[in-house]
Amino acid sequence: MKTTTKLWIGLGIFILLSPLGLMLPELFKAGDAWGEWGTDGIKELIGYIPRGLEKLSSFWSAPMPDYAFKGWEEKGLTHLSFAYIISAVLGIIIITAVILLLGKFISKKED
């Protein structure tokens, strides 16, 4: 079996396991994943929102906030799990396309 085939199989397994990011925190009554806090979460953790973070917090909004489609936040675990899987697939497609385009661009410069 080729190395790239093993890579795609591994990525497929990780894609299918991505809904565990929803299930495990719910099961163990954990809060947000480390580093995924919004300004509200940071204020709750440290008591205030740093000025620079507050200023930059409106600069970027995620295309799929919370890895879900608009309006799906309250639809239940099945819908959210499906949205997590779609989010993972879209992320892998976008990253792969960017890497392939950069590779073509860089290899043409070297010719």
Residues 51-92: pLDDT tens digits? 998 888 888 777 777 788 888 878 888 888 898 899 899 999
Give the model's confidence band at 102: pLDDT under 50 very low, under 70 low, under 90 confident, else very high: very high
Q: CA 69, CA 98: separation in Å to the nearest integer?
A: 23
Nearest to 83 by CA among 2, 8, 4, 74: 74
Q: CA 57, CA 53: separation in Å to the nearest integer?
A: 6
Residue 6 placed within a domain: no
Residues 6+ apart with CB under 8 A from 33: 21, 25
Query: What is the model's pLDDT at position 6?
Result: 95
| pLDDT digit string, tens, across residues 32-49 | 777 778 888 899 889 999
**Is the same domain home to 33 and 71?**
no
**Is the same domain home to 27 and 55?**
yes
Residue 8 placed within a domain: no
pLDDT above 90: residue 16: yes
Domain coverage including residue 46: 20-60
